Amino acid sequence: MELYNYIKSLHLIFVITWFAGLFYIVRLFVYQIEAKEKPSPEREILLKQYKIMTYRLWYIITWPSAILATFFAFWLLHLMPSWLQMPWMQVKLGFVSLLFAYQFKCQQMYKQLQNDNFKYSSNFMRLWNEGATIILFAVVFLAVLKNALNWIYGVVGIFLFSILIMLGFKFYKRIREKK
């Protein structure tokens, strides 16, 4: 049982750093997209700096954290294989799959921005940034409550939370546009 607690602790640490990386990378994407609208030489200076920052965050923190969180998750499942039969774990693993899809899309966005290919607006990126937040809420509630029977309530709650985030985003956008 002591080994289990160490493995669980390491899993949680790397989940936290993984999410920190996902939250911050998209914020850096917002800044990078907005920097392209700056006048020269500020634009070139900022774009060069943001490319360095995103590279370091993505490959030194985010990807290693995702890999280590996954490694320790598999170790935990090896120690507790009965969890795979539990509905809450199956739903949680579905959300983890969504998280990896989110990360792979962020990887695509990262490569585009590194190549000065600006396909998305900063407003889109601000909204995109909330995807990881929604997944985080779902995974934490499932892991703590260990109840997938009420997952419908959870989905409704996440949906309502998403609506609140979008309303907050629109409110913030109006305030920013007035300034």
Q: What is the pLDDT of residue 87?
A: 87
The whole-model pTM stands at 0.85
Q: Which residues contact 43 (CB under 8 A, 6 or more apart)?
A: 35, 36, 37
What is each CA distance from 85 to 65, 77, 78, 148, 159, in whole angstroms?
26, 11, 13, 12, 26
Across residues 41-63, what is the average pLDDT? 98
Q: Which of 79-83, 128-132, 174-178 has the lowest mean pLDDT?
A: 174-178
At residue 29, the pLDDT reads 98
pLDDT tens, residue by residue, 137-158: 888 888 888 876 666 676 677 7
